[in-house]
Each structure stands twice: as C-alpha cells, then as structure tokens.
Chain A
Amino acid sequence: MTFHDLAYDAGKTDFHRKAQPVGQGREGELLEVAMGPQHPSTHGVFRMDVVLDGETVVKLKPVFGYLHRNHEKIAENTSYLGSMPYTDRLDYFCSLTNNWAYALSVEKLAGLQVPERAEYIRLITAELTRVLNHTCLAGFLLQDMGALGTPLMYAFREREKILDLIESLTGARMMCNYMRFGGCRCDLPAGWLDAAKKVVAEYPKFLDEFDALLSGNEILMARTQGVGKLSAELAINAGITGPMLRASGVDYDLRKVDNYGIYSRYPFRVPLGDHGDVYDRYMIRMLEMRESLKILEPALKDIPEGPVVDPKAKLRGFRPKAGEAYGRIETPKGELGFYLISDGSPNPYRYRVRPPSLINLTILEDMCLGQTIADAVITLGSVDIVLGEVDR
C-alpha cells in the first residue's frame, strides 16, 4: 500500500475537492499578521503582531526581546571598565554617544574631571555620530518607502567618510570603545583634524544633493505627510525623547536643557516640527544634521592642546565610593541615560540603561491605528529604532 492510498483511506486529504478563491466567505473577518521577526522593514529582529481589517491596522502589538543579551546583568558582574565595550553594542550606529553617556554617569559617581581637550573630542565625535546616524536613518526610511537602493547607497557613501574618520581615531568602525572615565582613550592621530575639517566642509554638498533628490519629491510627501501622527501631549506623556518629540513641536533638547559637556559654548538651533508626522520627523533630522555641522566647524578650529584623560582616573582597580548617579545625554535617538548604584566594590551594584529606542517604540500602536499596513512600515522606520538598544 502506498502513502497515497493511506492518506486517501484515512480521509485526511480530499483529493477531489474543488478549487475555491482565497478568502471567499470570509468578508468582514479580521486578519492577524505577524510581521517579523525577520521582516526587512522591521530594522532587525522585531515583530509587530498586526490585526488587519482589509488593509487597515486595527490593532498592533510590538513584540521585542529577540536580541536580549542580558546587558544589565553582565555589567553588574564585570568591572566598570569592562562594561564600556558592551555599551558599544547598545545602539551600534552611535557607539561613541553610548560611550559618552556611560562615561558621564561614572564620572558623576566617582567625581572625575574631564580635561578640556577631551571635552572637545567628545563633542566632535558625538556630533559626527549624530550626522552619521541621521544620514543612515534617512536612507533606511526611504528604503522602507520603496525607494530601493539609490537614497540608501548615497547615504552610505557619505557615512563611509565619517566611518573612516572614526576608524582612524578609535581603531574600529562601529565598536569604538573610545571614551574612558575622565577623558578619552587616546589622543587624536596626526592629521585627523584636517581630515575631519575636510569632511565637515564637504558635507553640506551632500545634504543639498539629498534635499534635491528627495525632500521636495511629491511621492515622498504623499507617502509621509499626515502619516503616523503623534500629538505633543501624547509624546510628553509617553516619555518620548529626541527628534520624535521635537517633530511634535516640543522644544526639549538635552544639549540645551542639561548643558552637559561644552555645548553651551556653541550656538545652535533646535529644529521643531508642527504636525508630528513622518515627514516632520524626516525633515527634523535633515535640519539637525546642518545644525550639527554648525557646531562641528568652530569646534574643530577651537580644540586646544593638552592631556586627554584625568590623571586621577585609574584603569585597573577602579572602585567608586558608595552612592548613586544618573547620567544622561542627547544621543541621536533621544535621551540615553545610565543609572548606577555603587556599593564600593569594583562592579556596580545596580546598572540600568534608559534606552531611547525602547521608550520611543512603546507609542507605535497609537501612531499606526487606522492607517494602512504600508504606513505602519514607514511609521516604524521614522521612529528610528536599533534593536541592540531596544532589547539590550
């Protein structure tokens, strides 16, 4: 007896049924779709459980945790210095700002002073990182919208120039591990400042090109204007930070509010949006890049000579006094904070990360309800998440 006969006899397979059109007799039913965790538009291993009525989203549940690496617990079991390379892996596009946020909170905890030159290096690298992140985001957002290839390739071409700078400074393109408690790991290599000045001077040319290519594009406007709206009230109540909050018209930038580092020395404007839609979030980032370049240009000229690390800071046997500290900075994605409790031992008693990506993501359902599934994809793209930071 063959397998075919068996199956036929058991009545499990009806070989004589008639073909029917898909969905017949199912009008008005809701459809559940699991987008991800390997969907290309979800920017990593992230899942959206979407309930659809036709093409309209009626329910959306973000599911994350696929990239969970136990970052906080690992940090509580290694030395303070040992978790510095792990912070690179939070938001792997902006490892330098992650380093800074962590170094800042440890410096608060241990009372270390950062030398002048190191402050300048931190400001320069952080602003370069902001430009780099927003460039990538613009490319990815357009990729989500279906502009396959061209904008992303142009963005990556420019990103490469900044990555070259970062590599020649820190030794790695993405996992920089550059900041240290009380300064930076090493001084700028010879000729770095000139190379950086050149990149900064040429960057507006690319931004103009990108603006000409896309910002006025009718298809882009039609796809993004009025999509994924977020009201200022909801954004504040949900704890949204970064460009997403400013796109809703709330003037809140930690560089102005906290005045950490030496940001108060350089005048720059904080771009604000009116509508809080995807287009505003895109434009805010384009404008922020220009503001960052405005900070970079004088900072690269003003950088003084001197040591790059506090001589009091120790690499080995670093034991801050018992206490707690919360250090936060404005990363390209929002407020990144590290909360540390020390009990006087070489490793932190409690180590907590406040990741901007995760908190910005919690509002996703409110932005997507009542829109089509294609709009949900670009709304997610405009939130600017990196799963390394969401899941930790």
Chain B
Amino acid sequence: MLGTGILKGMVETAKNFAGSYHDPERLTTVEYPEQRIASKENARQFPFLVHDTEDPMKGLRCVACQICEKECPPQCIYIVKSKDKRADYKGQMQFYPATFDIDLSVCMSCQICVEVCPFESIKMDTEFELSNTDRFGGLLVNKHQLAKSNEHYRKIHPTEAAASDAALAVEVAKAQAKAKADVEAKAKAAAEAKTKAEAAAAAGPVGAPASAPAPKPSSPAAAPAA
C-alpha cells in the first residue's frame, strides 16, 4: 500500500524522539565547553619538548640533532644548535637547542617528528584549545612555551610514557656500565702503565738502548722523499 514505507519511517523517528526522554544512551551530544569528554590516551594534537629537571631550559632532552626539522613534512620546525655543550640526562656532553620554534599554524599533527626522534625528547600534547587573536605570532611557539615536564607526559600518555621511561633507563644503565667500564679500563691502563714504568725504572740503564732504535723506521721513509 502506498504510504506504508513513510509510516514505518515515521515510527522510527518517533521511537528515537520519545526514547531520548527515557534513555540517556540516546542523548549523544555533549554540551561543550561545560561538559567535556576525556581525551583518548593515544590522542595527539601538537608536539611539545620533554624536560626532566626543575628548570625547563636546563633539562630539555633535545640535543638539537635536527632530524625532526629535516623529516617534518610541512617543514614547521626551526632549530638553531647551541655553540657550547652541556651534560645530558646520562652525563654525556651534548649540544642543546639555542632556538627551537614550531609554527603550530603549519603543523599538521602527523607525529612523524615523534617517531623519528632518537632521544625521546619530542612528544605529542593533547592540548587543543589554542585559539589566539594574534594571527602571525600567536601560534609560532618557542622552546620556552614548548617545554613541558616528563610528569605531564606521564599524565597524558601513561602507556607510551612508561615505554619511553624504560627505554631511557636502559640507555642510562648502558651509559653507566660504559662509564664504569671506562673507569675500570682507565684504572687498569693506569696500573699497567705504572707497573711498566716501575719495571722500566727497575731496569734503569736497559731503558736507554731500548728507546734508541725507535726513530729508525721513519728514516728510510724520509730518505726517498729527500
């Protein structure tokens, strides 16, 4: 019969209309900004720089290697490397960014800078309310605005942060082991040198003739040149 389809459709809309008064599941809108949905754990908006210490500028993990600058598809990162070096989290001497700017109006939140960073120093933030009245400078953020603590990172991406912390701990352990090995090797070398020197000192007069033939190998090489 003509009109049955229309009536069937009307019943559906009526069900939804009446249902929205009884079933909160059917009310799908959220009254932003009074109500908010918690952001997803994987959510990403724009990058920030992770720092470990109280003073954000001293504890930046970034070593200004400029890999992210090179890999960024829309080229929104600008880095100037420092002239001097300073000790990083594992005590190694590294450069640091004298300038680190990101133009958020160009950034497309693709996360490639995060993926290519070998130092776990740039991560994605979940902050999205960035509207600004300054059209040109307002979204060009410098390293002071970008620096956020590792605690912040742990708070917004707990699973990822745990993995990153673990990776860094491995690095620190490696560095410490290497430093320890270095110290031991140095001590060993020093001890060896000492015993050699002692031996040499004990040998005394034997040392002088032993050192005398040393220049010999270089003299034939010098002769053809002359």
Contact = CB atoms under 8 A, between A and B. Distances in A.
A168 B41 contact: yes
A175 B42 CA distance: 13
Nearest to A150: B13
A61 B28 CA distance: 41
Nearest to A217: B5
Interface bin, chain A: 35 or more
Contacts of B150: none
Interface in B14-44: 16, 28, 40-44
A125 interface: no
Nearest to B118: A316
Contacts of A172: 43-44, 109
B12 A209 contact: yes
A214 B28 CA distance: 21
A223 B124 CA distance: 48
Contacts of A315: 115-116
A216 interface: yes
Contacts of B110: 84-85, 175, 177
Contact of A316 (B6, B42, B67): B67
Given A171-B43, A172-B109, A175-B110, A218 B73 contact: no
Interface in A275-317: 315-316
A167 interface: yes
Given A177-B111, A316-B71, A217 B42 contact: no
Contacts of A189: 41-42, 159
A170 B110 CA distance: 10
B42 A169 contact: yes
Contacts of A221: 5
Interface residues of B, number: 29
Nearest to A157: B28
B12 A160 contact: no
Interface in B90-117: 108-112, 115-116
B108 A85 contact: yes
Contact of B13 (A81, A85, A213): A213
B2 interface: yes
Contact of A212 (B12, B42, B73, B108): B12
**What does DSSP make chain A's interface, helix, strand, loop or mixed?**
helix
A221 B28 CA distance: 30
Given A168-B40, A171-B40, A171-B43, A216 B112 contact: no
B8 interface: yes
B4 interface: yes
A207 to B, nearest CB: 12
Contacts of B43: 167, 171-172
B207 interface: no
Contact of A168 (B9, B42, B124): B42
A12 to B, nearest CB: 42
Q: Which of A84, A154, A218 has the most CB of B within 10 A?
A: A218
Interface string A2-23: 0000000000000000000000
B73 A219 contact: no
B41 A218 contact: no
Given A177-B110, A209-B12, A218 B5 contact: yes
Interface in A78-109: 78-79, 81-86
A154 B12 CA distance: 11
Contacts of B13: 150, 213
B73 A86 contact: yes
B6 A217 contact: yes
Q: What 6 A-B pairs have minimum CB-CB distances, sorted nearest first?
A: A85-B110, A216-B5, A82-B73, A171-B44, A171-B42, A217-B5
Interface of A: 78-79, 81-86, 150, 154, 157, 160, 164, 167-172, 175, 177, 185-186, 189-190, 209, 212-214, 216-221, 315-316
Given A81-B71, A171-B124, A217-B9, 7 more contacts: A154-B16, A171-B44, A172-B43, A177-B112, A190-B159, A213-B12, A219-B6
